């Protein structure tokens, strides 16, 4: 799964000057071949048509209109988008803790989504839907402006080498796009254990004029920012990594 569901772009992916949001990471991702177990495959075949969908548009077709989330979830509720959900440990726990909130989990790797699908099935959780694809494509093509109550980005790939920094998900262009998709009062919640990326995330988030950093007053936020500690995070802490948490609110 990589680094808590981190997404790896293809080599040679450069800037896209035509992108309306300034820089956006390119959406060409290579998919790791990770076989599903028989049980995972059976659950996938049974539940994916109802609970999952692909993000990308086939060549020659126009991008999809924004999702009709009311029809997909069968109700009208505050909506949270989690980008890079990995195997969905945090996704599941947070959705269970807030049954009145609908969660869309985005991930490139089918295996992580299959693990989450099996957990959803075992726990009979009804407020999670899954999208396989790149989070930026989802934000651009499937999410309407001012429709999200929250966006969660936990442990995105830090791309530590300087020449790869442009592949990081949280750039000013993506943060601008997230701000556009959040409702007033909506929350961007990010976490990383990579010090260089933490500094970068802090800078791009604070530079976005529509977002304001939330301090200790988290009681008034429309969604919980209480994250479960994942196995990945425990390992990182044992190795001496410090986890930086960021919360911004759209003004």
Max CA pair span of the chain:
49
Given the residues 157, 180, 206, 217, the one annotated as active site: 157
- The SS3 assignment for 150 reads strand
How far apart are alpha carbons 4 and 88 in whole angstroms? 9
Listed in sequence order, the DSSP H helices in 124-171 are 135-141
Confirm whether 102 is a catalytic residue. no
Q: Residue 250 gets which letter from DSSP?
A: E
CB 173 within 8 A of CB 140: no
Taking the C-alpha atoms of residue 179 and residue 122, their distance in angstroms, rounded to an integer, is 34
Tell me which residue of 136, 65, 76 sits closest to 101, measured CA to CA. 76
Looking at the annotation, which residues are catalytic? 157
């Amino acid at each position: 799964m990589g680094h808590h569901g981190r997404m790896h772009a293809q080599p040679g992916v450069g800037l896209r000057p035509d992108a309306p949001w300034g820089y956006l990471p390119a959406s060409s991702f290579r998919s790791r071949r990770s076989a599903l177990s028989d049980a995972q495959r059976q659950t996938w075949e049974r539940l994916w048509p109802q609970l999952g969908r692909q993000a990308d548009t086939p060549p020659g077709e126009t991008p999809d209109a924004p999702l009709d989330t009311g029809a997909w979830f069968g109700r009208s509720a505050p909506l949270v988008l989690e980008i890079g959900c990995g195997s969905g440990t945090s996704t599941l726990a947070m959705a269970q803790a807030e049954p009145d909130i609908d969660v869309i989990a985005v991930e490139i790797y089918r295996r992580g989504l299959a693990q989450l699908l099996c957990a959803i099935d075992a726990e009979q959780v009804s407020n999670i839907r899954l999208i396989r694809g790149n989070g930026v494509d989802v934000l651009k093509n499937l999410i309407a402006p001012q429709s999200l109550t929250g966006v969660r980005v936990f442990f995105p790939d830090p791309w530590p080498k300087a020449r790869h920094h442009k592949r990081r998900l949280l750039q000013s262009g993506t943060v601008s796009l997230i701000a556009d998709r959040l409702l007033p009062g909506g929350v961007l919640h990010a976490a990383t254990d990579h010090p260089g990326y933490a500094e970068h995330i802090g800078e791009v988030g604070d530079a976005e004029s529509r977002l304001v950093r939330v301090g200790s007053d988290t009681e008034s936020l429309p969604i919980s920012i209480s994250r479960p500690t994942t196995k990945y995070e425990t390992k990182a802490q044992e190795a001496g990594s410090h986890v930086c948490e960021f919360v911004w609110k759209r003004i």
